[in-house]
Amino acid sequence: MLKNRIKSLAQEFKTEIISNRRHLHAHPELSFQEHNTAAFVEAQLQSYGISEMERKAETGIVVLIKGKNPDKKTVALRGDMDALPIVEQNDVPYKSIHPGVMHACGHDVHTASLLGVAKILNEIKDQFEGTVKLIFQPGEELIPGGASLMIKDKVLENPKPSGIIGQHVMPLIPVGKVGFRKGMYMASADELYITVKGKGGHGAMPETLVDPVLIAAHMIVALQQVVSRNASPKTPSVLSFGRIEALGATNIIPNEVKIQGTFRTLDEAWRAKAHGHMVKIATGIAEGMGGTVDFEVRKGYPFLKNSPELTGRAQKAAIDYLGEENVLDLDIWMAAEDFSYYTQEIDGCFYRLGTRNEAKGIVSGVHTPTFDIDENALEIGAGLMAWLALNELAS
């Protein structure tokens, strides 16, 4: 039976998948600088006897694993390869040797898993029909997102996949388990850069000033109404300001104040409308108080919607592979992911791979300097993904 064959191959290749993950973890590269990572991936694929691969978006790689009757159907699997500008604080043999760069979002895990999938599927390519397209993408962590560049470089064409599946580590989920969610899953994320301009001077002479500190304070309060009064209660939205910079002193009012924030939601039409509301409110307040405002909305990734059909099939296949008790239903997650660009083009399923192990002290969140995984997750990361791809090809 194919499922058992995949399970035993995943077990057989586990040591190699772990060693690949450790190599990648020790040699992280920042977004769009994944040159050595891409060369490593290519060398591994070649060592498996896989030659059908192509560079996309400079440091991205697309690979075709063709079964029998390869034109019948194509399914894509995606792994991201970039690391983050974080100083690693783990004391492990595979600690980052690149100062200030760390695989703190588990993209080393995703890349190593996808390499494992390549090796597994290549071994059994005479046992399935159709083609599996493996996408190793750069730059998930940085706008405009490697996914958007890969799509521009025609990664979803020739052959066009009927659907795409991606996995991401989740340190909230215990190792051995995975999580799925049909429909709306992750948020769009836009960065807000606001500069409030007034007229500074001595704090004791307010009649000669236009105080940008006071304008900024009113603005932050007033902008709360975008979520509380303008957004539909049925659509999750969040507006947060995390930085406010007024470089005055007890007795000095500065000329300008800078504010930075993030706006996230799960509806593209509302997202565009909200941008308009924010600019209008901020402009009205600034002008009403005698100042001006520059309001820049730097658009990030769109919201991520999992195809209910594809995700339903994948979740069923995961239950078949791991058992019902190891497949969880996920809640909405207000972080953003550039996998969403693929889901705007074709059906997608983005699921979570459990990596937590409290007994071993592996509990840190992604994007923290102590993030790590229980490496037993890698056998599932590779095996399950291979199984999901073949299940989808056969559906």
Query: Tokens 């994320």 correspond to what residue?
Result: 189
Q: Which residue is nearest to Zn ion (CB)?
A: 105
Per-residue contact flags (x/-) with Zn ion for residues 295 to 334, judged by CB under 5 A: ----------------------------------------
Residue of 29, 80, 82, 141 with catalytic role: 82
What is the nearest approach in angstroms of Zn ion to the Cβ of residue 137? 11
Residue of 80, 140, 337, 347 with catalytic role: 140
Per-residue contact flags (x/-) with Zn ion for residues 146 to 185, judged by CB under 5 A: ----------------------------------------
Q: Is 140 a catalytic residue?
A: yes
What is the nearest approach in angstroms of Zn ion to the Cβ of residue 186? 11
Closer CB to Zn ion, 105 or 384, in the complex: 105
Query: Tokens 């046992």 correspond to what residue?
Result: 127
Closer CB to Zn ion, 107 or 119, in the complex: 107
Span of 62-70, 101-109, 173-181, 229-237 interacting with Zn ion by CB under 5 A? 101-109
Span of 34-42, 100-108, 286-294, 346-354 interacting with Zn ion by CB under 5 A? 100-108
What is the nearest approach in angstroms of Zn ion to the Cβ of residue 242? 17
What is the nearest approach in angstroms of Zn ion to the Cβ of residue 81? 11
Closer CB to Zn ion, 105 or 149, in the complex: 105
Among 105, 186, 187, 353, binds Zn ion (CB under 5 A): 105
Q: Is 375 a catalytic residue?
A: no
Interatomic CA distance for residues 388 and 315, integer angstroms: 9
Closer CB to Zn ion, 105 or 114, in the complex: 105
Q: Is 257 in the site for Zn ion (CB under 5 A)?
A: no
Number of residues that bind Zn ion (CB under 5 A): 1
389 burial via Cβ count (<10 Å: 0-12, 13-18, 19+): buried
Which positions touch Zn ion (CB under 5 A)?
A: 105
Which residues carry out catalysis? Answer: 82, 140
